Structure 1
Amino acid sequence: MKMFNFNCPRCGKFFYGDNTLIELKAPIHCPGCDKYYQYEEYVKVFEGTKDTTLARLNKPLTEENMLDIIYIPKKQPVK
């Protein structure tokens, strides 16, 4: 799984996300300040950067362990 590195311009929180979010132009949620970045906003942050990470899971991803491995925000973005 290819991951992107993101440093929130608002709160400074550093976090990772799956590249599929970028390919789908989906909103990115900062777990530090709860801000949602729309594609048009965060693509500017990525301009000129090539930082990606490969993630390796030590165990298969299942419904039981999903929330231990993947961060899922509790609320939907406000439009």
Structure 2
Amino acid sequence: METIGIKQTQITILDNACVGCGECVKYCPMSVFAVVNRKALPVEQDICLECGTCIRNCPEKAIRIAGLDEQGITIKETTH
């Protein structure tokens, strides 16, 4: 039997850096973000593709996604 679960993407907005410009809303292909009270808010984290588009387009570098680096590229674990 296969277990199916909902992916939990961890998106963090750095409040001290976010200026509420809406670039994340504009560029996210899944409409994960909304601007609320002049700050970005990930309102649909469960549908995030983890593509890094929001990270790459944020002019203030205020978005972090677990598993992606600051350029929105997947962090690969190395094994020795």
Q: TM-score range by the shorter chain?
A: under 0.3
Instruction: Give the alignment's TM-score, normalised by structure 1.
Output: 0.23
Q: Higher strand fraction: Structure 1 or Structure 2?
A: 1
Instruction: Give the alignment's TM-score, normalised by structure 2.
Output: 0.23
